[in-house]
Amino acid sequence: MTALQRLTPNPIAHLSAQDIENLGADLDALRAQVIADRGERDAAYIRGVIAAQRRLELGSRAVLLFSLFPPAWVIGTAGLAVSKIIENMEIGHNVMHGQWDWMRDPAIHSTTWEWDNASPAELWKHAHNEVHHTYTNVLGRDNDLGYGIMRVDEDQRWKPFYLAQPLWNAINACLFEYGIAAYDLQIGKYLKGRVDKADFRRRARQVLAKVRRQATRDYVLHPLLSGPSAVTTFTANLTANLARNLWTHAVIMCGHFPEGVQTFQKTSIDGETRGEWYLRQMLGSANISGSPALHFMTGNLSFQIEHHLFPDLPSNRYAEIAPQVAEVFERYGLTYTTGSLPRQVFSAWRKIIRLSLPNDVGSTVATALAEKVGARAA
Amino acid sequence: MPTLARFAERLTTPLLPADYLDVINPLLSAAALRGRITAVLPETADAATVVIRPGRGWPAHTPGQYLRLGVDVDGVRHWRAYSITSAADRCVTITVKAVPGGRVSEHLVRRAAIGTLVHLQAPAGDFTLDAAPGAAVLFVTAGSGITPVMGMLRGLAPSAVRDIVVVHSAPSAAEVIFGAELRRLAADGRIRLVEVHTRTDGRLDAARLDVLVPDWRQRHTFACGPAELLDDLERRWAAEQLTGRLHVERFRTAFTALGEGGRATFSATGATVDADGATSLLETGESAGVLMPSGCRMGICFGCVAPLRAGAVRDLRSGEITTAGDGVLVQTCVSAAAGDCDIEL
């Protein structure tokens, strides 16, 4: 995809300025509806999820104390992986977005939550809440478009470095929690000399401290506690962290990389109105379709569109408002980008492979491959 | 064992061991004071005694003190201060009168379920008999103002010999909270009880009190009730230079001076909201999802102080304006925005 502003036909050409304002008002009304209704059952939901996740983690780590015994290794590792995924996605990501700040519970609040991940919450919140959610999919502003190591849009200039981006993507997937930490630390910017040195050093110390605490827990203390099962507990933690990395990476790729997701030129957001901001979120995000279990394990980021429209509404509400959001898309003649998990992951990977080559070469190769494989092109 | 505790923390990072303990039993935590509601006992048509079993770490209280209670209503945590009406500590009681339209009081009296987890802050306050070294005491109360006094009466050792007069005002006999218990105490000769039923007898004020208890000047007086009654008593005692013998417990502080309102920024959280001049910055911040520390919520305990980084605020009680500066702190519970302001929370 190229920037929306350069597309013909333009997906929003049929909308007048008034249409866009009406769209904004419709979505504002939907948001107000949820906020008015928000209450006890939502609070019970997040508390229930947190309690269940902590019990699962505690139980899994307890089982892993006997990880020398293969069934214990399998059960404990699976449980630990699932508990880490839930903590990062349904709980951590959403709490840090402020979705539960309305409860006035200091234990479940965006200003106090520290998540089970190598990246410190403070740095993640800046990169994610402040930058990504404000400049969503704006070329040159939203670094989530490739994370600085990949090219995900035709309008991003090609460099030979990107030839290996399928490899960078695969490596990043395996080491994703460290990838996020490095990204939130803005290492790329620092290497280009665009970050204040003292600031960077302070944040780097923060990151190293967090990495050290996390690694000590998973790779030293828990194994030590397991006595004779030390080595197998070590591998169990390694595997659980890897599983979390691979899963979260795949889900996050599906948010903005699959075909059909729009990007936007840098200057196009100057003087952006609320309606236009909503529109950019709608067109710059993609959903994943699936079962309630899938939605839960993606931290409801399978409702990426709803999340980008209303990042601070409780995540359990996204599934409930999705039909109304889809109806807004239809009413304004817009495409609601969604697909099954395998399809969206495949679509994202295909884009990464295609754009590892310069534009003309890339699309030629892609078309040739598509004809061979018989898969539908974007 | 400090090293064991440190080891446990390193094992549970980024959480604390208490966070895992909480999913097993929230009452085991010594770090956070909590309790469970074990009973809700109606006292009158609109008042009920809530019995709370505190968890670990709950300290002993002095009768007459109040506790702060945090309870979740419709998913949101609200904090209120209530006088402790029990003498013992293993089960603590508070007696709540439902204020019409009151979010927390209505919930506690009418809807609170047994087993509900509540959050607590340690007992506080100096409205206790320690302030009255002499034996002769006068209690002047109205409505829910009887609650701290009931705590003090129940806390009296059976052997303690004190000359106690209780003057209590309520709309009618049936609406006297703890009516039966007070009348029994009177019948047993433990207190002299004077009931003023305002619907039939008219209002209780300092002049009336003069008639009912002519020797009030020789007593230490503890008063708790609506602002008008307390203000009147304070004026009378001051007129006779006896202010030191009057001890007053106010449940609400009068907001007489409104602020201008403005845009209130809570810079540490990054929230900015429109604040009106009649609402305290504490409530404004809470409504915006900011974590606001609080205590008595009426300007006495300084549990809500926060730095004022920019702009100005007006004290809702006195009208005094405070402008931002280095190290300037304000009490968010009794301050409203006087123009745009920035609170560092």
> Which of B10, B75, B290 lies at the smallest CB-CB distance from A40?
B75
> Residue A362: its pLDDT value, please?
67
Whether the complex's predicted ipTM is more than 0.85 is answered with yes
> Residue A375: its pLDDT value, please?
58
Smallest Cα distance from B76 to chain A, Å = 4
Does a structural domain hold residue B24?
Answer: no
Contact between A216 and B20 using a beta-carbon 8 Å cutoff? no
Does a structural domain hold residue B14?
Answer: no
Question: Residue B89: pLDDT band by 50, 70, 90 thresholds?
Answer: low
> Residue B234: its pLDDT value, please?
96
Across chain A, mean pLDDT equals: 93
Task: Please count the residue pairs, one from chain A and one from chain B, whose beta carbons lie less than 8 angstroms apart.
Answer: 70
Find out whether A55 and A80 touch, Cβ atoms under 8 Å: no
Comparing alpha-carbon positions, the chain A residue that sits nearest to B270 is A111
Give the number of domains in chain B: 3
Give the closest residue to A165 by CA, choosing from A153, A155, A151.
A151
Mean pLDDT calculated for residue range B253-271? 87
Question: Pick from B249, B283, B313: which residue ends a domain?
Answer: B249
Residue written as tokens 């409504």? B287
Does a structural domain hold residue B295?
Answer: yes
Mean pLDDT calculated for residue range B12-16? 95
Does a structural domain hold residue B257?
Answer: no
Give the closest residue to B96 by CA, choosing from B132, B137, B53, B147.
B147
Largest pairwise CA distance in chain B: 69
A42: chain B residues, CB-CB within 8 Å? 75
B12: chain A residues, CB-CB within 8 Å? 217
Q: In this structure, are strands B329-331 and B262-266 parallel, antiparallel, or unpaired?
A: unpaired
Q: What is the dihedral of CA B82, B86, B92, B98, to 10 degrees?
A: -40
Comparing alpha-carbon positions, the chain B residue that sits nearest to A92 is B14
Angle (CA) B241-B234-B154 rounded to 5° is 110
Structure tokens at B242: 């006896």
Mean pLDDT calculated for residue range A29-39? 96
Comparing alpha-carbon positions, the chain A residue that sits nearest to B12 is A217
Helix H or strand E encompassing A86 = helix A70-86
Q: Specify whether B285 is located in the same domain as B202.
A: no
Q: Specify whether B293 is located in the same domain as B244.
A: no
- Cα–Cα dist A286/A339, whole Å: 8
Mean pLDDT calculated for residue range B151-166? 88
Contact between A221 and B23 using a beta-carbon 8 Å cutoff? no
Burial of B314 (0-12, 13-18, 19+ CB in 10 A): buried
Cα atoms in the Cβ-side hemisphere of radius 13 Å centred on A47? 17
Burial of B332 (0-12, 13-18, 19+ CB in 10 A): buried
3-state secondary structure of A115: coil
Question: Pick from B98, B124, B150: which residue ends a domain?
Answer: B124
Q: Specify whether B163 is located in the same domain as B101.
A: no
Contact between B291 and A38 using a beta-carbon 8 Å cutoff? no
B56 in reach of chain A (CB within 8 A): no
> Residue A225: its pLDDT value, please?
96
A47 in reach of chain B (CB within 8 A): no
Find out whether A279 and A248 touch, Cβ atoms under 8 Å: no
Comparing alpha-carbon positions, the chain B residue that sits nearest to A100 is B289
B291 in reach of chain A (CB within 8 A): yes
pLDDT, one tens digit per residue, over A239-272 is 999 999 999 999 999 999 999 999 999 998 999 9
> Which of A106, A107, A217 lies at the smallest CB-CB distance from B10?
A217
Q: Helices A70-86 and A230-256: crossing angle, nearest 10°?
A: 40
- Cα–Cα dist B331/B282, whole Å: 8
Asked whether residue B252 carries a pLDDT value surpassing 90, the answer given is: no
Q: Specify whether B107 is located in the same domain as B157.
A: no
Q: What is the CATH number of the domain that holds B118?
A: 2.40.30.10
Q: What is the CATH number of the domain that holds B160?
A: 3.40.50.80
Contact between A101 and B14 using a beta-carbon 8 Å cutoff? no
Mean pLDDT calculated for residue range B313-335? 91
- Cα–Cα dist A299/A99, whole Å: 12
Smallest Cα distance from B117 to chain A, Å = 13
Asked whether residue B273 carries a pLDDT value surpassing 60, the answer given is: yes
A294 in reach of chain B (CB within 8 A): no
Does a structural domain hold residue B22?
Answer: no
Q: Specify whether B137 is located in the same domain as B236.
A: yes
3-state secondary structure of B343: strand
B291: chain A residues, CB-CB within 8 Å? 101, 104, 106, 109, 111-112
pLDDT, one tens digit per residue, over A303-338 is 999 999 999 999 999 999 999 999 999 999 999 999
pLDDT, one tens digit per residue, over B44-65 is 999 999 999 999 999 999 999 9
- Cα–Cα dist A141/B341, whole Å: 31
Q: Specify whether B145 is located in the same domain as B51.
A: no
Cα atoms in the Cβ-side hemisphere of radius 13 Å centred on B78? 16
Give the closest residue to A93 by CA, choosing from A121, A118, A57.
A121
Residue B315 belongs to domain spanning: 262-343
Helix H or strand E encompassing B138 = strand B136-142
Give the closest residue to B69 by CA, choosing from B91, B52, B49, B86.
B52
Q: Specify whether B137 is located in the same domain as B237.
A: yes
Q: Which residues of B135-155 are buried (b: 16+ CB within 10 A; e: fewer)?
A: eebbbbbbbbbbbbbbbbbbb
A84 in reach of chain B (CB within 8 A): no
A238 in reach of chain B (CB within 8 A): no
- Cα–Cα dist A167/B260, whole Å: 60
Residue written as tokens 């301050």? B335
B15: chain A residues, CB-CB within 8 Å? 54, 114
Q: Specify whether B142 is located in the same domain as B98.
A: no
Across chain B, mean pLDDT equals: 92
A55: chain B residues, CB-CB within 8 Å? 23
Mutate to test the interface with A, among B6, B13, B272 (most CBs of A within 10 A): B13
- Cα–Cα dist A76/A351, whole Å: 36
Q: Specify whether B236 is located in the same domain as B147.
A: yes
Asked whether residue B155 carries a pLDDT value surpassing 70, the answer given is: yes
Smallest Cα distance from A219 to chain B, Å = 11
B33: chain A residues, CB-CB within 8 Å? none
Question: Residue B243: pLDDT band by 50, 70, 90 thresholds?
Answer: very high
> Which of A40, A51, A114 lies at the smallest CB-CB distance from B74?
A40
> Residue A28: its pLDDT value, please?
96
Which DSSP string do the residues of B36-76 spell out, in sequence order? EEEEEEEEETTEEEEEEEE-TTPPP--TT-EEEEEEEETTE
- Cα–Cα dist B183/B192, whole Å: 9
A221 in reach of chain B (CB within 8 A): yes
Comparing alpha-carbon positions, the chain B residue that sits nearest to A45 is B75
Distances (CA, A) of A158 to A1, A162, A354, B177, B212: 14, 7, 12, 80, 94
Contact between A102 and B76 using a beta-carbon 8 Å cutoff? yes
Does a structural domain hold residue B299?
Answer: yes
pLDDT, one tens digit per residue, over A151-184 is 999 988 999 999 999 999 999 999 999 999 999 9
Mean pLDDT calculated for residue range B28-43? 93
Contact between B77 and A103 using a beta-carbon 8 Å cutoff? yes
Contact between B291 and A217 using a beta-carbon 8 Å cutoff? no
Burial of B90 (0-12, 13-18, 19+ CB in 10 A): exposed
B103: chain A residues, CB-CB within 8 Å? none
Helix H or strand E encompassing B248 = strand B246-249
Which DSSP string do the residues of A267-335 spell out, in sequence order? GGGTT--HHHHHHHHHHT--EEE--HHHHHHTTTGGGHHHHHH-TTS-GGGHHHHHHHHHHHHHHTT--
Asked whether residue A71 carries a pLDDT value surpassing 80, the answer given is: yes
B269: chain A residues, CB-CB within 8 Å? 111
Mean pLDDT calculated for residue range A75-94? 98
Smallest Cα distance from A232 to chain B, Å = 18
Largest pairwise CA distance in chain A: 70
Find out whether A242 and A274 touch, Cβ atoms under 8 Å: no
Give the closest residue to A344 by CA, choosing from A298, A295, A284, A286.
A286
Structure tokens at B105: 């009081």
Distances (CA, A) of A270 to A10, A135, A228, A267, A273: 19, 11, 62, 6, 9
Q: Specify whether B234 is located in the same domain as B145.
A: yes
Q: Specify whether B48 is located in the same domain as B67.
A: yes
Asked whether residue A377 carries a pLDDT value surpassing 70, the answer given is: no
Q: What is the CATH number of the domain that holds B290?
A: 3.10.20.30
pLDDT, one tens digit per residue, over B284-301 is 999 888 999 888 888 888
Question: Residue A190: pLDDT band by 50, 70, 90 thresholds?
Answer: confident
3-state secondary structure of B87: coil
Which bin fits B161, alpha (ψ -120 to 50), beta or left (φ > 0)? Answer: beta
Question: Pick from B187, B219, B249: which residue ends a domain?
Answer: B249
Smallest Cα distance from B166 to chain A, Å = 40
Mean pLDDT calculated for residue range B82-100? 91
Peptide bond into A71 cis (omega under 30): no
A54: chain B residues, CB-CB within 8 Å? 15, 19-20, 23
The strand pairing partners of B335, in sequence order, are B315
Strand order in the sheet with B163-170: B192-197, B163-170, B136-142, B220-224, B246-249
Kindly report the number of other CB atoms within 10 A of residue B187's CB atom.
10
Q: Specify whether B207 is located in the same domain as B318.
A: no
Contact between B72 and A103 using a beta-carbon 8 Å cutoff? yes
Contact between A58 and B10 using a beta-carbon 8 Å cutoff? no
Smallest Cα distance from A333 to chain B, Å = 35
Contact between A38 and B290 using a beta-carbon 8 Å cutoff? no
Does a structural domain hold residue B21?
Answer: no
Lowest model confidence (mean pLDDT) among A253-257, B1-5, B34-38, B246-250: B1-5
Does a structural domain hold residue B109?
Answer: yes
Q: Where are the alpha helices (DSSP H) in chain B?
A: 2-12, 17-24, 103-106, 146-154, 179-187, 198-201, 206-212, 227-239, 281-287
